[in-house]
């Protein structure tokens, strides 16, 4: 068997996960080119839902993540003005996520996430070269031109270079597709534990280890503890007014301005905001659905935010990147020769694109659900949240057997059927069955 040479552009979550998945399923040679001089994930939190934790566990990384992850019982959905508990989405209470969705729900620090993936990739024989900025791709000759003037040849180039992807722009059918502004900009803050300890309400938020979503008028906040309770992570969504950089995650924001935006929120939120020392601020961007995720010759293919960057309201972009990694790995293990690469790319795209496009839509819809102005629609939403919470609390109190909801991607989040489709669906089994039929 002639194994192929694969070059992955980008050592973010998508690039590293793709390297791990491929290296575990086939013996191809893998090199990652990363423009930064070192690993550079943002200092912030990330949710690893059951779909992602299932894949990470299958790749042998469960213990590594369990060592650094927070395991919340619930996502608590609260009203912005008075902190009323409206809804409860179960995560690990009574092992809910494992029993219903097949795997746990974790909250982690991005820096830990990237470090664990990088260590695993290297342990699997993947080479990573830092400080290698890709300037262009010669698709016909499958050649990478670096900013320093050198070139690298490959059999397959995988673009995992994020929302502003250079690799994507080198594919003729995709040159016109650029990130577009969404209706939101976002503040992000990471609060040290000691700042949360001065006030009983903030102390309890970092200690109870649940996630919070405060649904406000045109704004909302998602927050949770990470790094074994050493840090409290907050993401605050605001309607897009004024200028903030597009999808640049580390641009500094103004803390005083941020507090003013949330002045109508309850005292608990205000106390948390008072504990913030610094924040980042940027305009949330997404990609429109693309006509293709690969070059016509099948030798350049995209994964992660490079092909499906989405707004963060479903906390699913990194999960989707892991799913890409899993499926591309399965395709490249099924079709291992250079001449079969167009087939592998086509089947990968067939398996991934429709699901990702619906996840992008759900992310967009959620932005609206959690940011409704006061009025009848908001009251109806809150009533639905309350009814769902009461039913869940009854089920948990009675210790009734947990019912696995039907998967239905057409429902509106947080309907249990769409949550089940989003995080409970076993994409590996689905892809394996499909690939058996097709190969
Ligand atoms: C506020 C917010 C909260 C989020 N929360 C969640 C969540 O809770 N759960 C979840 O699943 N997802 C979440 N996401 C989405 C998730 O962060 C992204 O989908 C994911 O990190 C994308 O990873 P990536 O590897 O595709 O891209 P990136 O992280 O952007 O990585 C791209 C890599 O490529 C490198 N690179 C770029 N250009 C070049 C070049 N020319 N040459 C060489 N290297 C290059 C970069 O340096 C970088 O290392 C959130 C997103 C935001 C904005």
Encode pLDDT of 261-312 as tens digits: 999 999 999 999 999 999 999 899 999 999 999 999 999 999 999 999 999 9
* CA-closest candidate to residue 245, choices 147, 307, 179, 303: 179
The residue whose CB lies within 8 Å of the most ligand 1 atoms, and thus the one to mutate among 7, 8, 11, 12, is 12
- Average pLDDT of the chain, as a whole number: 94
- In the three-class reduction of DSSP (H, G, I as helix; E, B as strand; rest coil), residue 2 is classed as coil
Which tens digit of pLDDT belongs to each residue from 301-351?
A: 999 999 999 999 999 999 999 999 999 999 999 999 999 999 999 999 999
Q: What pLDDT band is residue 77 in, cutting at 50, 70 and 90?
A: very high
Which tens digit of pLDDT belongs to each residue from 360-400?
A: 999 998 888 899 999 999 999 999 999 999 999 998 999 88
Kindly tell me the burial class for residue 255, based on how many C-beta atoms sit within 10 Å of its own C-beta (0-12, 13-18, 19 or more). middle
The residue whose CB lies within 8 Å of the most ligand 1 atoms, and thus the one to mutate among 305, 356, 423, is 305
CB 147 within 8 A of CB 153: no
Cα distance between residue 179 and residue 176, in whole Å: 10
CA–CA–CA angle 55, 57, 62 (5° rounding) = 140
What tokens appear for 153 in the block?
Answer: 């040849």
The ligand 1 atom nearest the CA atom of 306: 26
Hey, what domains does the chain have and what are their CATH numbers?
Answer: 5-69+103-178+289-364 (3.50.50.60)
Q: What pLDDT band is residue 50 in, cutting at 50, 70 and 90?
A: very high
Q: What is the per-residue pLDDT for 412?
A: 85
- Site residues for ligand 1, CB cut-off 6 Å: 9-15, 33-36, 46-47, 133-134, 160-162, 166, 186, 188, 235, 304-306, 312, 315-319, 321
- Give residue 172 CA to ligand 1 midpoint distance, Å: 23
CB 417 within 8 A of CB 411: yes
% of the chain surpassing 70 pLDDT: 99
DSSP state of 425: -
CB 169 within 8 A of CB 139: no
CB 85 within 8 A of CB 76: yes
The ligand 1 atom nearest the CA atom of 247: 53
The residue whose CB lies within 8 Å of the most ligand 1 atoms, and thus the one to mutate among 8, 31, 35, 308, is 35
Q: What share of the chain is helix, strand, coil (3-state, %, to 5)?
A: 45, 20, 35
Q: Is the dihedral of CA 328, 333, 339, 343 positive or negative?
A: negative
Look at the block and give the residue holding tokens 């999960």.
319
């Amino acid at each position: 068997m002639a194994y192929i040479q694969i070059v992955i552009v980008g050592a973010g979550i998508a690039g590293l996960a793709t390297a791990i998945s491929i290296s575990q399923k086939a013996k191809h040679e893998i090199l990652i080119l990363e423009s930064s001089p070192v690993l550079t994930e943002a200092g912030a939190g990330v949710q690893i839902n059951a779909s992602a934790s299932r894949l990470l566990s299958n790749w042998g990384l469960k213990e590594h993540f369990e060592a650094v992850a927070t395991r919340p019982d619930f996502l608590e959905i609260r009203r912005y003005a008075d902190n009323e508990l409206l809804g409860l989405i179960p995560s690990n209470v009574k092992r809910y996520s494992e029993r219903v969705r097949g795997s746990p729900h974790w909250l982690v620090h991005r820096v830990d996430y990237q470090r664990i993936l990088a260590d695993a990739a290297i342990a699997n024989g993947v080479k990573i070269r830092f400080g290698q900025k890709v300037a262009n791709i010669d698709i016909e000759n499958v050649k990478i031109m670096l900013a320093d003037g050198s070139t690298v040849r490959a059999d397959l180039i995988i673009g995992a270079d994020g929302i502003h992807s250079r690799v994507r722009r080198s594919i003729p059918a995709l040159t016109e597709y650029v990130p577009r502004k969404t209706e939101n900009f976002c503040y992000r803050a990471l609060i040290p534990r000691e700042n949360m300890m001065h006030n009983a309400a903030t102390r309890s938020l970092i200690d109870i280890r649940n996630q919070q979503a405060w649904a406000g008028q045109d704004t909302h906040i998602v927050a949770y503890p990470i790094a074994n309770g050493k840090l409290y992570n907050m993401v605050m969504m605001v309607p897009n007014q004024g200028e903030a950089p597009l999808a640049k995650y580390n641009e500094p924001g103004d803390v005083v301005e941020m507090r003013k935006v949330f002045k109508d929120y309850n005292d608990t939120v205000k106390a948390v905001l008072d504990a913030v020392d610094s924040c980042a601020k940027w305009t949330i961007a997404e990609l429109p659905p693309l006509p293709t995720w690969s070059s016509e010759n099948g030798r350049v293919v995209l994964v992660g935010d490079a092909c499906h960057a989405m707004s963060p309201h479903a906390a699913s972009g990194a999960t989707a990147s892991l799913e890409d990694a899993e499926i591309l790995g399965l395709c490249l293990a099924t079709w291992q020769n250079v001449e079969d690469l167009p087939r592998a790319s086509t089947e990968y795209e067939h398996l991934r694109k429709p699901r990702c496009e619906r996840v992008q839509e759900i992310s967009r819809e959620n932005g609206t659900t959690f940011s409704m102005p006061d009025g009848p629609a908001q009251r109806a939403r809150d009533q639905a949240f309350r009814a769902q919470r009461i039913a869940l609390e009854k089920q948990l109190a009675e210790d009734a057997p947990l019912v696995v909801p039907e998967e239905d991607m057409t429902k509106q989040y947080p309907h249990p059927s769409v949550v089940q489709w989003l995080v409970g669906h076993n994409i590996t089994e689905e892809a394996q069955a499909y690939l058996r039929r097709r190969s």
